[in-house]
Amino acid sequence: QQQVKQSPQSLIVQKGGISIINCAYENTAFDYFPWYQQFPGKGPALLIAIRPDVSEKKEGRFTISFNKSAKQFSLHIMDSQPGDSATYFCAARRRTGNQFYFGTGTSLTVIP
Partner 1 sequence: NAGVTQTPKFQVLKTGQSMTLQCAQDMNHNSMYWYRQDPGMGLRLIYYSASEGTTDKGEVPNGYNVSRLNKREFSLRLESAAPSQTSVYFCASSAGLAGATYEQYFGPGTRLTVT
CA distance 112 to 31: 37
> Minimal distance in Å, beta carbon 104 to partner 1?
4
Span near partner 1 by CB under 8 A; candidates 12-20, 29-37, 52-60, 74-82? 29-37
Q: Please report whether residue 111 would count as binding partner 1 according to CB under 8 A.
A: no
Q: Please report whether residue 23 would count as binding partner 1 according to CB under 8 A.
A: no
CA 53, 38, 77, 89 torsion-angle sign: negative
Among 60, 83, 97, 112, binds partner 1 (CB under 8 A): 97
Question: Closer to partner 1 at the Cβ: 25 or 34?
Answer: 34
Q: Please report whether residue 74 would count as binding partner 1 according to CB under 8 A.
A: no
Q: Please report whether residue 109 would count as binding partner 1 according to CB under 8 A.
A: no
